[in-house]
Amino acid sequence: MREINCHEEKIHLCGNIQSFGYLFIFEDDKCIGVSENCAAIAGEEYSAMLGMTVDDVLHRIVPSFELRGENINQAVSDSMFARYADRVTILQNDYFLSLYKYDGKIYLEIEACNPLAVKTTKLYYYAKHLDDRSSGNSCWQALTELIKDIIHYDRVMVYRFLEDNSGQVIAESKSADLESLMNYRYPEFDIPAQARELYRIFHARHTADVSAEAIPLMGRSADDLDLTRCSLRALSPMHLEYLKNAGVKASASFSIIVDDELWGLVACQNREPMHVDLSQRHLCTFLTQYAVNNYLADFQKKQVKVQKNLSQLKHDLKSDLLVKRDLYDVLEKYAVRIMEVMNGQGLIIKRDRAIMMVGEVPDKKMLREIDKKIATAEFFATDRFKCDGPSEDVEMYPGVLRISILPANNWYLYVFRKERLIEETWAGKPEKVMQVDEDRKITFPSPRSSFEAWKKITKGKAEKWQSSELAFIENITQIIQQAVAQRGGEIDELNKKLVRSNNALDTFGYTLTHDLKNPLTTIQLTAQMLLHKKDISGELLAKSMKNILEGTQLMRDMMDKVYQMSKVNHVDFVFEPINPQSKIVNIVENCKQQYKVPHLEFIMGETLPVLGERTLIYQLFLNLVGNAIKYSSKRQNPQVSVKSMRQGNKVRYDIKDNGIGIDLKDGDKIFEIFSRMSNTEGFEGSGVGLSIVKQIASKLNAAIHVESELDVGTSFSVVFKDVPEPDRMHLVS
């Protein structure tokens, strides 16, 4: 006897539609499939409709319909509006008519309208409700409230898919007399794989009446009529039985798509039959996507905050490791911060026979058992650790992470998580029950009949390690290893670095003594004049004081900029693959506000990944893109573009503007510190930006080139060398 699973059911080739609509399918402009109930609106039996053209069918059903011939093909082929929809009157009743192309065929759907039309004037208020966080509700809770208001169903839930493909209700709006299903879990097999795929492709599905008879399609066989994108498609008998068992007589669902993947569903249920028409479904689909955008914006804000804190911790740790001699003391100082970032309850740093413990950690017996079981693995992490040792802590710490800091010296870092008892409420016991069909000699899953709350308690597990946490601890370990390698380097290399640093200091010293002469001379002459001149007028005194203040401010600004530039020269940076796209976008948005150019036309081409250090990459584009925006900000139509291209093993970035331009008669003088062109008067700055760019380009082993024409614009090119192909790099942004 063969077993048939739910995922084997070809639900997109069911050959049936629901009773509230009518369907016509055309191939090569001939009707090849039609719903058996078509006579109700066409006045002809289905057999007479087969073979008709699209024009013939439309003229028979809606004589006044405006689209004809090629206009129909154009309407359904438009990439922006792939589905044409309109409200029409047929036999004095209102219907929605929609046309679309799929699988090389044209589909004509006609469905009944609801008496209460959707009020598009409320769209603004719907969006405001989703944006409002003052009530403390999530965007998903707000979404359930809006959709319940639009379709008037008894229950609207947001159902999120989890890592194991089961689901959980995370938001709910319901009628007062219904019991809440908030936080209830549902097993994976409640929504089989092929159904999830259809939800991912087509984002709105509903069943007006689970007990209504399905209308068969006539003409071609069901296997030739793909109803993947058909709003009228009848549901699987298994799913209809499932809904009946749950006490549901009408249902609707709207897909929550995040990064082109099915993140969850807005699941709607009603205790009585109720049709959700096309206008309601379109509005609910739009609001669902709007809620997705809100969710992603909130998620991004949290990620930025987390990354900022992590970057600060890594920066502080790196600085201390490079300066302080005892690495073990440095690790002890940062142990608590590392443990908190890892969401651990305890941390151990072990070096040979020395051991440092922070927080709640297992005893030494369990530690020996862990080392014995993990053996020589350099990186190990689990949320279900078990060992057979004598320790009393074996079951208390199932969350174990160990990473090797210095294998040769037996340096290890451990992070522990205690057991977390997890109590889950499931909508019915999550188990498959099989039915037997003796006639066909098959067994198949029976739709669940029990949805009563069933509690499950999970023991022996800790909270799962997140991929971001594992990446962080690996990064911390690399920082420590790099510091050790750097501290253990040859004295000769240190001497070379010292010579380079001294040369840089000599350059800065010369720059200061040379370029600060002018403001210092101005201050000196003004002070001498005030000292020797008698009967000074108030006007002259004010002017003199102003000269002194301006001179001191200029000197202060120059020294601040020199300090900024000095920071670029004394740190060794670790290169990693980086795509600068997000950094460039942030720079553009900030500079548009800083230089008051909201009307800037910014063109972003392809951004290829390069090898570099994220801080230097940011500074490089900050100066180049910032200058481009600043010096084109006074144009009537300011334009800035950034694009990249691969040239063999090199990647070239071009930053172009239509600003004031640069006089290039003195060549590389524009890259000298404090060098400003004569046409930059009226723009803020002190001539340090391009000098910083030159220094950074040198650090990044990149070449920089400039082309410019006065009063036309400027183009900077930065060529990054020895850049591997993207598929050989693990990118960071």
- Distance (Å, rounded) from C-alpha 229 to C-alpha 288? 18
Task: Report how far residue 133's alpha carbon sits from residue 129's, in angstroms, rounded to the nearest whole number.
Answer: 8
Tell me, letter by letter, the H, E, C secondary structure of 129-142: HHHCCCCCCCHHHH
The CATH H-level (homologous superfamily) assignment of domain 324-421+461-487 is: PHY domain (3.30.450.270)
Low-confidence residues of the chain: pLDDT under 50: 1-7, 79, 391-394, 440, 442-446, 490-492, 494-495, 498-499, 502-503, 505-515, 518, 570
Reading across the β-sheet that carries 650-657, which strands appear in turn? Answer: 601-604, 639-647, 650-657, 713-720, 702-709
Q: Where are the chain's structural domains?
A: 6-13+116-300, 16-112, 324-421+461-487, 491-567, 576-728
Helix, strand, or coil (residue 615): helix
Position 410 scores a pLDDT of 79
Tell me the C-alpha distance between 421 and 15, whole Å: 48
Question: Is-same-fold flag (16-112; 491-567)?
Answer: no
Tokens matching residue 357:
């413990």
The beta-carbon contacts of 726-730 under 8 Å, at least 24 apart in sequence, are 726/608, 726/609, 729/577, 729/609, 729/611, 730/577
Question: Using the 8-state DSSP alphabet, how is residue 298 labeled?
Answer: H
CATH of 6-13+116-300, one of 3.30.450.40, 3.40.390.10, 3.40.50.970, 1.10.630.10: 3.30.450.40
Q: Is the dihedral of CA 121, 124, 128, 129 positive or negative?
A: positive
Tokens 């005892």 — which residue? 326
CATH architecture observed for domain 491-567: Orthogonal Bundle (1.10)
Q: Is 75 helix (H, G, I), strand (E, B) or coil?
A: helix
For 466-528, what is the HEC assignment? Answer: CHHHHHHHHHHHHHHHHHHHHHCCCHHHHHHHHHHHHHHHHHHHHHHHHHCHHHHHHHHHHHH
Asked if 658 and 671 count as a contact pair (C-beta separation under 8 A), the reply is no
pLDDT score at 696: 83
Q: How confident is the model over 565-620, as pLDDT tens digits?
A: 555 554 556 788 889 898 898 788 878 877 889 999 999 999 999 988 877 887 78
- C-alpha to C-alpha distance for 710 and 697, rounded to whole angstroms: 25
The correct answer on CATH 3.30.565.10 for the domain covering 576-728 is: yes
**Contacting residues for 107 by C-beta, under 8 A, at least 6 apart:** 23, 24, 25, 26, 99, 100, 101, 229, 230
Sheet containing 346-351: order of strands: 354-359, 346-351, 411-417, 399-406, 379-382
CATH topology of domain 16-112: Beta-Lactamase (3.30.450)
pLDDT of residue 31: 94
- Going by their DSSP bridges, the two strands 250-258 and 261-270 should be labelled as antiparallel
